[in-house]
Amino acid sequence: MKKIIISMVAMLAPLAAAFAQDVVGKWKLDDGSAIVEVYKQGDAFNGKIVWLQDPTEPDGSPAVDTNNPDAKLRSRKLIGLNMLSGLKKSGAEYTGGSIYDPGNGKTYNCSMKVEGDVLKVRGSLDKKGLLGRTMDWYRVKE
């Protein structure tokens, strides 16, 4: 009986850990301005904006990427915009990707780590993450 219990615990423990630390899902930004849905595509993790606190421009039209340095992209809608791209799982972290900030039109190096229901998202100027800042995003429970 003891062997059966140990076997069951051994089989279920990785599933519980994987579920608790899964980056896939919806995350609300620390300032509450947006919700980003993180999804897996191939072996990379990406994230797109699925909700905005202010989804429209002053004229009532959908909010667009007005701060993009590429004039051709300034008319693309923010809802549905991929702002996280190319992150790869590396142990307990997701690294090697980029994050686009539509607020200033800049793209940064990005890494992430799940800590319970908090996603620690680090945007940085350098690939090692030394020159940057970390934001806490909170899991959206549906």
**In this structure, what DSSP letter does residue 66 have?**
T
In the chain, at which residue ranges do the beta strands (DSSP E only) sit?
A: 25-28, 34-41, 44-52, 82-90, 93-101, 106-115, 118-124, 132-139
Look at the pTM and tell me if it is higher than 0.75: yes
CA–CA separation, 28 vs 135, rounded Å?
A: 11
Residue 70 has pLDDT above 80, yes or no: yes
Task: Read off the pLDDT of each residue in 71-77 and give the average, rounded to a whole number.
Answer: 97
Look up residue 53 and give its two tokens: 């606190």
pLDDT digits (tens, 9 = 90+) for 76-96: 999 999 999 999 999 999 999
Q: List, in sequence order, every residue forming a beta bridge with 45; answer none if it has no partner.
A: 40, 87
Domain edges within the chain? 23-139
pLDDT digits (tens, 9 = 90+) for 22-52: 999 999 999 999 999 999 999 999 999 999 9
Confidence at 14, pLDDT banded by 50, 70, 90? very low
- State residue 3's pLDDT score: 54
Specify the fold of 23-139: Lipocalin (2.40.128)
